[in-house]
Amino acid sequence: MATIGVFEAKARLSELIDQASSGKKIIITRHGLPVAELVPVGSGALRSRGQVMEHILELRAKCRTGKVDLRALIEEGRP
């Protein structure tokens, strides 16, 4: 997957579209942060509910915070 800045992407849009149409995915960045992805049509950008749920569960597994006592957090916020 290639990464390219917005300014350069604007100058090379036709070339990037050709690359995307041949199956390559391109991440477009602004100030070094990803802001868009140029992908071929039908590449799965529209996902089924099952795929979305799988993705959410994968992210959830990566973002474990350990045991959190929700009651204690709520009570901390009370005067």
Contact at 8 Å (CB) between 19 and 26? yes
Query: How many angstroms separate the Cα of 22 from the Cα of each of 5, 38, 41?
Result: 20, 12, 10
Has this prediction a pTM greater than 0.75? no
Phi, psi of 50 (to 5 degrees): -65, -40
Q: Write down the H helix ranges in 1-79.
A: 6-11, 13-21, 49-62, 70-76
- The full set of domains in the chain, from first to last, is 2-76 (3.40.1620.10)
Q: Along the chain (79 residues), what's the average pLDDT of each consecutive run of 10 residues? A: 92 93 90 90 67 81 76 78
Compute the Cα dihedral for 6, 12, 15, 17 and give only its sign.
positive
